[in-house]
Amino acid sequence: MSTSFDRSADDVGNILALEHLNVQVPDQLKATLFYVVGLGLTRDPYMMVGPDSMWVNAGRNQFHLLTRTQQVVNGRTGIVVGDLDALQRRLEFVQPQLAGTAFSFERKDGALHLRCPWGNHFICHAPGASFGRMTLGLPYVEVDVAPGAAAAIARFYREIVGARTRMLDDAGNAVAAVQCGTDQQIRYRETAGPIGPYDGWHIQIYVGDFTGVHRSLEARGLVAEESNTHQYRFTDIVDLDDGRKLATVEHEVRSVLHPMFGRPLVNRNPAQSVGAYTLGSDAWVQGGTPIRLGAKKVAVMPT
């Protein structure tokens, strides 16, 4: 065969998915207003259904919102949603009810920048080529780090986690981008400005070589928790030459044999309302595949 293909273009590295971001919230009513009514996301109907915690679905991803002292990511989190104008209208609707909190939103550079009631910074994007096939979900979690740290952080993810990484230059700031599956990244952005404290929030990833990552972490004393058969945690990202801590982010690491791997997540179409209800369009549809009811084409999936 004379035809050749770049097989490496389809490699995703050892991190197969970034599934959830866990940030504690002190008030579930305000969290519901922000994440469900405002952002238009969907409460997990099967798990954590009481006032002690809430899981909120965003496509194939989740926010885990335990009722405790607030946690704020010392960086920013991307969210892909279908329709920024519809999102802005929902945010205007909840604004009076979130008065007196850190809640805010601003249209900037083609995105909607939000602050949750406790100050978490979310950047909402419309789907597009830079987000691959994702039409609803969390494309990145980005952490601020000190100047000079990003390249060494990328090396940690390559050599300890087996991840694919890229170094980006964004407006003069070096960014280490760690690939997670097909359409997601954990990013570390160098900044000369102040860096917020790390307060215990965490992300959860699935890895293919579960044993290899554990072995590499254990050799350096970096396993923070032996959770169960299918899960462990690490928190410190260190310089592999001198052991110096470069960043702190708790990673909940799961194997693909974890019972929740690939779990289907229910997502609704937030455009549905009593006043503008379309039969058959309650569910968000992955990729926006049109739904037809008889001969009538039904508008799909404004998220």
Residues near Fe ion (CB under 5 A) are: 22, 204, 252
> Of 53 and 267, which CB lies nearer to Fe ion in the complex structure?
53
Report the nearest approach of Fe ion to the CB of residue 219 (Å).
25
If the CB atoms of residues 44 and 252 are measured against Fe ion, the closer one turns out to be: 252
For Fe ion, the closer CB: 112 or 265: 265
State the minimum distance, in angstroms, from the CB of residue 22 to Fe ion: 4
Q: Which is nearer to Fe ion, 130 or 227 (CB)?
A: 227
Distance of closest approach, residue 200 Cβ to Fe ion, in angstroms: 11
| Residues found in the chain | 303
CB of 41 to Fe ion, least distance (A): 17
Number of H helices, E strands in the chain: 4, 18
In the complex with Fe ion, the residue whose CB is nearer, 31 or 152, is 31
C-alpha–C-alpha distance, residues 49 and 43, integer Å:
8
CA 52 to chain centre: 22
Least distance CB 62 / Fe ion (angstroms) = 9
Start-to-end C-alpha separation, the chain:
45
Question: From the CB of 75, what's the least distance to Fe ion, in Å?
Answer: 18
Tokens standing for 187?
A: 């990013």
Can you name the residues that pair with 43 across neighbouring β-strands? 56
DSSP letter for each residue of 204-230: EEEES-HHHHHHHHHHTT-EEEEEETT
Find out whether 47 and 63 touch, Cβ atoms under 8 Å. Answer: no
Q: Which among 24, 16, 9, 25 is positioned nearest to 202, based on CA atoms?
A: 24
Contact 167, 150 (CB under 8 A): yes
**Residue 69 vs 130, nearer CB to Fe ion:** 69
Per DSSP, 34 falls in state I
